[in-house]
Amino acid sequence: MGNIRILPSLIAERIAAGEVVERPASVVKELCENAIDAGASAVEVRLAKGGTELIEVTDNGSGMPREDLEVCIGRHATSKIREFEDLSRLNTLGFRGEALPSIASVSELSVVSRASGSTVTHEIRLAQSAAERVDARNVPNISFLGSAHGTRVRVASLFSQIPARLKFLKSIGAETSAVREIIERLALTHPEVAFTLKNEDRTLLELPAESLKDRTVRMLADDNPFEIVETELPGSYSIRVIWLKGLSLPHTRGMYQIVNGRALRDRTLQSAILNPLKQSFLPGNFPVCVVRIDLPTDELDVNVHPGKTEIRFLESRKIYALCDAAFERLLGRPAFRDAGPGPDPGFHPPQWNRESTPFLALNAETQAGTGPSTTPPAFFDSTPIGEYRGVWFATYLAFEKDDKITLIDQHAAHERVRYEQIKKGVLGKQGCETQQLLVPEVVKFPPDRLIRLRNKLDWVKPLGFDAEVFGEESVVFRAIPSVWGSGTLPERLRNLLERLENEDAGPEHPTWDEVLFEKIAMEACRSSFKAGDTIHEWSARDLVRKLFTCEHPGNCPHGRPTSITLSRNKVEEWFSRLS
C-alpha cells in the first residue's frame, strides 16, 4: 500500500481554515465584511474572553431566506460570482465562499437570519464536525438592531478542539485589541455603517454612521486638537487623503489604506504613501492618515492573499504618481521670497530673558542661585559662517563670508540643535530643565491601552515630565522638558505616549538610556522650525551659532544636510563673468 492518502474531510477542512481563521480578529473581519456586503447600516460585535469563548456579530442587512441559509455554510458557496470573468469585476468584500465553512470547522457556529420582506426567522447550527450539522429550523422572530430583517452569527468555543492552535493565541487583552483594530479599519472604510464593539459588559467602540472626515476625527484625533488636512483628486484613478499632520506613530498601524471600499495592509500602497513623506519624518516614525483610492475593478487583482489584505495593481506606477500628487498638495511648496530690506532703523531687540525669547534660551546655562541674565546678547555679531543676508524660499537662511554664500536649512539645523541638547541631558546625565505648563495638557488615550501605559509614566519623570493618569481615558501633563518647546504639544505628547506603550525595555535594561533618548528626541525635533516659518534675524544668528557648536553640525538627526556652500567663482561662472 502506498504512503500517500487522501485526508479525511474534517482534517482537510481544519487545515484549510488555517488560511482564513488565524485568531478571533480573523473571524470578526470575515463576518463584518459579510454584513457590509449584505447592505447593513449597523453592525454590532460582542466578545467573551477576547473572542475565544464567544463572538457574536449582528447586522441589519438584507438577511437570508431558508434555502440560502442552508447553502451558505457549504464550502465555496457564494452569491458574488457566477462565472470566471466576475473575478475581474468584483465590487464586494467577500467572494470566495470560504468564511463560514472555515469558521464552522474550528468552532461551534450558529446563524440566525430573516430575509427582507419575510415574516419567518430561521436558524442553522453547525458544530465542529460536518456530521453534526442540522437543517435550518424556524425560530421566534427577533430584532436585528432595531430592524425586522438581518443576520446574527454566533461563534462559540473557537479552537477548543484544536489545542495546537489555541496555545498560539495571545492574552485576552491582546486578542481584544486585535479585534478592535479590525473594526476600526472597517469603520473607516465604511463610515456610512454604524459599528459597536462590546467585550463582556463593556462597550469599547460605539460609532454612529457619519462622513469619512467626521469618523476620522472621532477615531484618530480622539477629540485632541490635532491639525487635520485633507485633499481629493478626482478621475478614473481618484484619491482622497485625510492626514493628521504633526501626529506620528512608531508603527504603520495608523496608516489606513482603502482601495475600492476594501481595507488593506498592502506593501506597495504603503510604499507609495511613504515615498513623498520620507523627508517629513524621523526614521521609525510613520504618519497617521486615511488614504482612499478608487480605480477600475479590472485594473487590480484582489485574489492574491488569503486574508484579502493585499492586492496587485495592474499599473503600480499610477498609484505612486497619485500618492505623490496628493501629498505634494498637502505638504505645499513655499514660493520664492525676496530677502527684503534691512532692519527697520527704529527696531530694538527685546530684552534678553528666557520668558520673552524662549528659543534663545534653549541652551542657556542655569547657574545655581542666579536668575536669568538681563544683558542683551550680541544679536548682530558675526557668525562662524559670516553675515546674515536674508532668507531664500522661506526656508534657507543665507550667510556671506569670504566670497562664499552658505545656505542653512532652518528646520534641519534646529532639529540638530535640539537633538544634541536632549542627548546631553539624557545620555550625559545632566538632566533636562523642567518647564511648568500654565494650563495642564490633557491627552486622551484608549482606556484598554491606558492600563498598559499607567506604570510607564514614571519612566520619563526624571527627564522633566510630570504626568499621571487622569480619569479613565486621559493622561494629564503638568510639566515638560524646557527643550521640548510648546509647538504642536498635544500631538507630540500623544506620540510620546504611543512610544512608551510600545516599549517594554524599562529602566533596568542596559540600553534604556539610549532607548529613552531616541523617544524624547524624536518628539522634541517635531517642534523645531519648519520650512516656511518666519524667524527673526537674531534667532537666525543664534541658531547658526548653536549649530556650529554641535558634535555633528553637518546633518540633521535623520541624515539630511543642514547647509550647503556656494562660491563666488561658481556664481560668476553661471553668469559667464569668468575670463
Residue 4 has pLDDT above 60, yes or no: yes
Residue 215 has pLDDT above 90, yes or no: yes
Q: What is the pTM of this model?
A: 0.63
pLDDT of residue 340: 31
Q: Residue 82: how many CB atoms within 10 A of its CB?
A: 8
pLDDT of residue 81: 55
Q: What digits encode the pLDDT tens for the residues 418-430?
A: 888 777 766 665 6
pLDDT of residue 415: 85
By CB neighbour count within 10 A (0-12 exposed, 13-18 middle, 19+ buried), where does 242 fall? Answer: buried
Confidence band (pLDDT; 50, 70, 90) for 358? very low
Segment 334-341 mean pLDDT: 29
Segment 323-343 mean pLDDT: 58
Grid cell in block for residue 222: 480622539
Residue 375 has pLDDT above 50, yes or no: no
Radius of gyration of the chain (CA): 30
Report which DSSP code applies to 457. Answer: G
pLDDT of residue 520: 65
CA distance 472 to 448: 9
By CB neighbour count within 10 A (0-12 exposed, 13-18 middle, 19+ buried), where does 383 fall? Answer: buried
Report which DSSP code applies to 136. Answer: -
2 Cβ neighbours under 8 A, 6+ residues apart: none
Grid cell in block for residue 131: 456530521
CA distance 502 to 45: 27
Residue 36 has pLDDT above 90, yes or no: yes
Residue type, 93: L
Q: What digits encode the pLDDT tens for the residues 167-210?
A: 888 889 899 999 999 999 999 999 999 999 999 889 999 999 99
Grid cell in block for residue 571: 556664481
Confidence band (pLDDT; 50, 70, 90) for 341? very low
Q: What digits encode the pLDDT tens for the residues 113-159?
A: 999 989 899 998 887 554 455 567 777 888 898 888 999 999 998 98
Grid cell in block for residue 268: 506597495
User: Considering the chain, what is the average pLDDT of its residues?
Assistant: 78
Confidence band (pLDDT; 50, 70, 90) for 384? confident
CA distance 45 to 57: 5
Q: From residue 532, how far is each of 50, 107, 366, 391 by CA, in Å?
A: 48, 58, 32, 10
Q: Please state whether beta strands 466-469 and 474-481 pair in parallel, antiparallel, or not at all (unpaired).
A: antiparallel
**Which has more confidence, 78 or 367?**
78
458 Cβ neighbours under 8 A, 6+ residues apart: none
Least confident of 272-286, 338-352, 398-412, 471-485: 338-352
Sign of dihedral through CA atoms 137, 143, 147, 153? negative
**Which has more confidence, 14 or 264?**
264
Cα-Cα-Cα-Cα torsion 426, 429, 432, 434, nearest 10 degrees, comes to: 130
Confidence band (pLDDT; 50, 70, 90) for 306? low
Residue 481 has pLDDT above 50, yes or no: yes
Max mean pLDDT range (365-369, 423-427, 463-467): 463-467
Confidence band (pLDDT; 50, 70, 90) for 496? confident
Asked if 408 and 562 count as a contact pair (C-beta separation under 8 A), the reply is yes
Grid cell in block for residue 382: 558675526
Buried b (16+ CB within 10 A) or exposed e, 330-345: beeeeeeeeeeeeeee
Residue 69 has pLDDT above 90, yes or no: no
**Which has more confidence, 68 or 306?**
68
CA atoms within 13 A on the CB side of 218: 17
Segment 269-277 mean pLDDT: 89
Max mean pLDDT range (158-162, 189-193, 316-320, 387-391): 189-193
Grid cell in block for residue 426: 539624557
Segment 304-313 mean pLDDT: 68
Confidence band (pLDDT; 50, 70, 90) for 494? confident
**Which has more confidence, 517 or 194?**
194
Residue type, 1: M
Collapse the DSSP code of 440 into the 3-class scheme (helix H, G, I; strand E, B; otherwise coil) and give the result: strand
Asked if 349 and 379 count as a contact pair (C-beta separation under 8 A), the reply is yes
Which long-range contacts (C-beta less than 8 Å, at least 24 apart) are formed by 224-230? 224/443, 224/444, 224/490, 224/491, 224/494, 225/490, 226/490, 226/491, 226/494, 227/488, 227/491, 229/330, 230/330
Residue 532 has pLDDT above 50, yes or no: yes
Q: What digits encode the pLDDT tens for the residues 41-56?
A: 999 999 999 999 999 9
Least confident of 41-50, 194-203, 287-296, 362-371: 362-371
Residue 75 has pLDDT above 90, yes or no: no
* β-bridge mates for residue 406, sequence order: 399, 565
Residue 339 has pLDDT above 80, yes or no: no
Q: In what order do the strands lie in the sheet with 227-233?
A: 227-233, 238-249, 286-294, 255-259, 262-264
Asked if 381 and 367 count as a contact pair (C-beta separation under 8 A), the reply is no
Asked if 31 and 37 count as a contact pair (C-beta separation under 8 A), the reply is no
Segment 405-414 mean pLDDT: 91
pLDDT of residue 442: 92
Grid cell in block for residue 10: 474534517
pLDDT of residue 121: 92
Asked if 396 and 410 count as a contact pair (C-beta separation under 8 A), the reply is yes
Segment 332-347 mean pLDDT: 35
Q: What domains are defined for the chain?
A: 9-209 (3.30.565.10), 214-331 (3.30.230.10), 334-579 (3.30.1540.20)
Segment 103-121 mean pLDDT: 90
- Terminus-to-terminus CA distance in the chain, angstroms? 95
pLDDT of residue 141: 81
**Which has more confidence, 255 or 95?**
255
Collapse the DSSP code of 431 into the 3-class scheme (helix H, G, I; strand E, B; otherwise coil) and give the result: coil
**Which has more confidence, 312 or 334?**
312
pLDDT of residue 514: 60
Residue 342 has pLDDT above 70, yes or no: no
Cα-flanking dihedrals φ and ψ of residue 398, to 5°?
A: -105, 130
DSSP string, 258-310: EETTEEE--HHHHHHHHGGGTTTS-TT-EEEEEEEEE--GGGEE-TTSTTS--
Grid cell in block for residue 570: 561658481
Residue 356 has pLDDT above 50, yes or no: no
CA distance 41 to 116: 14
DSSP string, 468-512: EE-SSSEEEEEEEEGGG-STTHHHHHHHHHHHHHT----TTSTTH
pLDDT of residue 201: 85
Segment 356-367 mean pLDDT: 35
